[in-house]
Amino acid sequence: MDLQYLVREPETITPDSKILFMLHGYGSNEEDLFSFVPTLPHDWIVVSFTAPLSTDFEGFSWYDINFNNPEEFVDVKQAKESLNAILEHIVHIREQYGLKGDTHLCGFSQGGILSYALALKNPQLFSKVACLSCYPEEKLLTDISKDRKQLQHLRFFISHGTDDAIIPMEWGRKAADLLYELSCYFTFREYMSGHGVNQKNYMDLMDFFAK
C-alpha cells in the first residue's frame, strides 16, 4: 500500500536528526496536523501521512467506522493493513535519510488510536508519542511488546477533551490504566474542550516535544 505524505525538511540533515511522523483523524487529511510545523523544533524532519481510504465526507480515513454497531466500530482488517503500511513507510523513510536519531509519533483521533498500536508493538522504534483525543483499541493491541526495558524508553503525551462527543472521555482514560500496567512513562491531561486541540492543549503538546 502506497501512502502519500507531506514533508518539512530542516536546512541540515544528519544521521542524528530527529523525525516526527503525524497521523491525522477520520475525515481529515495530511494538512491538518502539518499545520503544527511552524512551532515544532526547526531541526526536525516532519512527515504527515495521508490515510489511504476515502470517507463519505471530504477527507480520508485509516479504516472504516461503523457508527451503528459499537461491536464493529473498528474495521480491524483495514486498521491492521494501515498499520503495516505506516510502519513500512516509517522504516523506509528513516533508511532513505540514513537516520539513527529519535523517531517520534503524533496522532489525532483515529491516527492516535494507530499511534498507540504502532508504539506498543514496536517500542524500539519510537521515543515520544503524542496521542490526542483517542483511546487504545484493544482489538489492535493483541500482540504488543512485553519487553519492559524497551517500553520504558517511550514517553507518551495523552490529551482529551472533557466534552468530547466523538470519543468519550472514559474511553480516553483507559490509556492511563494500560500504560501504568506496562510501566510506560506518560502524561495524561484533560482539557475543557470537545473533540479537538484547544490552545492550552496545543501549548502543552509543543512543550512536550521541545523537552
Q: Please, what are the averages of pLDDT over each run of 10 residues along the chain (211 residues)? A: 96 97 97 98 98 92 86 90 98 98 97 98 97 97 92 96 95 96 96 97 98 90
**Integer Cα distance of 29 and 195 in angstroms:** 16
With CA atoms as reference, report the closest residue to 127 among 190, 197, 44: 44
3-state secondary structure of 194: coil
Interacting residues of 163 by C-beta distance below 8 A, sequence separation 6+: 192, 193, 194
What pLDDT score does 71 carry? 74
**Integer Cα distance of 55 and 160 in angstroms:** 24
What pLDDT score does 38 carry? 97
Q: What is the pTM of this model?
A: 0.96
What pLDDT score does 124 carry? 95
With CA atoms as reference, report the closest residue to 60 among 32, 21, 22, 29: 29
What pLDDT score does 58 carry? 85
* Residue found under cell 508504539: 119
What pLDDT score does 72 carry? 78
What pLDDT score does 50 carry? 98
What pLDDT score does 73 carry? 82
* Residue found under cell 523544533: 41
With CA atoms as reference, report the closest residue to 171 among 206, 136, 143: 136
**Integer Cα distance of 60 and 178 in angstroms:** 29
* Burial (0-12, 13-18, 19+ Cβ within 10 Å), 154: buried
Q: What is the DSSP letter of 203?
A: H
